[in-house]
Amino acid sequence: MSLRTLPLLFLNLGGEMLYILDQRLRAQSIPGEKARKDEWTDVDRKRVMNDIITTMFNKKFMEELFKPQELYSKKALRTVYDRLAHASIMRLNQASMDKLYDLMTMAFKYQVLLCPRPKDILLVTFNHLDAIKDFICDSPGILNQVDETFRQLIEKYSCLSAGEFQLIRQTLLVFFQDMHIRVSIFLKDKVQNSNGRFVLPISGPVPWGTEVPGLIRMFNHNGDEVKRTEFTTNGNYVTPQREGSFDLYGDRVLKLGTNMYSVSRPVDTHVSGSSKNSSSHTKENLVPNPFAKEELNFLARLLGEMEAKKPGGSETRFRLNLFTTDEEEEHAALTRPEELSYKVISIEATQEPGQQAELSRILSELEVAEPRPESCGKGEDLLALMDEL
């Protein structure tokens, strides 16, 4: 597993989250002069985007994020985005937050699968950051935060070898391998099957620096070409005209990671009612793990420290619904398969000694995705920082 994967995972998923929130906030916004106190306006949308991006690209947070470390478990990472999404005046119900996270993860998983070469994951990240900069183009201070992260990515990743990028890609694929959520955009474009698995193309541009398949060259012991044999391929391949730019500014060429919600079309996730018994939703390993309780207790302490800040004064908190109606949201919460649900535990920052036994009992009943016994303590500063921002 690569210790350099977490920043790329966090930034790309964060970019997808911002795409979705921007699209939904625009769809639900009301002109300022007509809006009631509890309705969204474009001013509210910009505030939400600015607050989340400010928190996401906080200097101390980024410094901690870029330290070499293993990936968080799925539940721990989900908690990070829950806190991040609520870093402003916006509030999401559990079903809407689940839907948001499903859309984020499936979009980035598809992008990782389609990358022509492992290094292109960096171009996907740059596409996300380019779009994020467009969201806050009127806020120079926040723009500088994003540019600083851009520079860190260029400094730390541009010099990595192809083998190191391959390890990063494999680490990402292992993280996503059991996620098969059906997304309407992918289903309509016929790039996803009804079981949630993606359909990978057999045509299109080949990776930069490679040739279109169809020719076999044979060489002698001196390295001289002695024979050529052509063969027919089933795909229609083309050679890319140029390589994408890995600089702070430039043409990325690769379109993966750009905002697919910029075109107006409905976005939805579909979870089959029978998916509990379907192989398309493979459950996480249920074999008891001796380190599961340790990691969950560690996460519980962090959650206590990260208790959401109460809004000051009489400031209005706006609720965002990622479903068409409240009834759809409630139905989604009730019918969501157990293996796709993220249980929520309210934990006080200060606990009486007698409460710890009960907390440990609850935590021991929960399963942990991909426990990391050697790194249970890693990321403590990263998660704790979210409460300070």
Q: Does residue 352 sit within a domain?
A: no
Q: pLDDT at residue 383 above 70?
A: no
Per the model's pLDDT, the better-predicted residue between 306 and 18 turns out to be 18
Q: In this predicted structure, what is the pLDDT of residue 196?
A: 92
Q: In this predicted structure, what is the pLDDT of residue 174?
A: 95
Q: In this predicted structure, what is the pLDDT of residue 162?
A: 92
Q: In this predicted structure, what is the pLDDT of residue 141?
A: 93
pLDDT band at 271 (very low <50, low <70, confident <90, very high): low
pLDDT band at 165 (very low <50, low <70, confident <90, very high): very high
pLDDT band at 74 (very low <50, low <70, confident <90, very high): confident
Structure pTM? 0.73
Q: In this predicted structure, what is the pLDDT of residue 310?
A: 43
Q: Does residue 388 sit within a domain?
A: no
In the chain the beta strands, taken as DSSP E runs, fall at 90-91, 182-183, 204-205, 215-219, 225-230, 237-238, 269-270, 318-319
Q: In this predicted structure, what is the pLDDT of residue 91?
A: 85
In 248-367 the beta strands, taken as DSSP E runs, fall at 269-270, 318-319
pLDDT band at 318 (very low <50, low <70, confident <90, very high): low
Q: In this predicted structure, what is the pLDDT of residue 123?
A: 96
What long-range pairs does 28-35 form, CB within 8 A, spacing at least 24? 28/320, 28/321
Average pLDDT over the chain reads 77
Q: Does residue 20 sit within a domain?
A: yes
The residue-averaged pLDDT of 363-375 equals: 40
Q: pLDDT at residue 125 above 90?
A: yes
> Of the ranges 17-21, 122-126, 158-162, 304-308, which one carries the lowest mean pLDDT score?
304-308
Q: Does residue 322 sit within a domain?
A: yes
Q: pLDDT at residue 314 above 60?
A: no
The residue-averaged pLDDT of 340-367 equals: 46
Q: From 101, 129, 124, select the one nearest 15 (Cα to Cα).
A: 129
Q: Does residue 142 sit within a domain?
A: yes
Q: Does residue 301 sit within a domain?
A: yes
Q: pLDDT at residue 374 above 60?
A: no
Q: In this predicted structure, what is the pLDDT of residue 317?
A: 58
| Alpha-carbon span 116 to 207, nearest angstrom | 5
| Alpha-carbon span 120 to 205, nearest angstrom | 13
Q: In this predicted structure, what is the pLDDT of residue 8?
A: 96
Q: Range of 136's domain? A: 5-263+292-346
Q: Which residues make Cβ contacts (< 8 Å) with residue 310, sequence separation at least 6? A: none
Measured CA angle at 250 (ends 66, 170), to 5 deg: 45
pLDDT per residue as tens digits for the range 212-270: 999 999 999 999 999 999 998 888 888 888 899 999 999 999 999 999 887 655 455 55
The residue-averaged pLDDT of 51-56 equals: 94
The residue-averaged pLDDT of 313-337 equals: 61
Q: In this predicted structure, what is the pLDDT of residue 225?
A: 93
Q: Which residues make Cβ contacts (< 8 Å) with residue 365, sequence separation at least 6? A: none
pLDDT per residue as tens digits for the range 95-121: 888 889 999 999 999 999 999 999 999
Q: Does residue 358 sit within a domain?
A: no
Q: pLDDT at residue 319 above 80?
A: no
The residue-averaged pLDDT of 283-311 equals: 44
Q: Which residues make Cβ contacts (< 8 Å) with residue 346, sequence separation at least 6? A: none
Q: Does residue 164 sit within a domain?
A: yes
pLDDT band at 161 (very low <50, low <70, confident <90, very high): very high
Q: In this predicted structure, what is the pLDDT of residue 282?
A: 40
**Number of domains the chain is built from:** 1
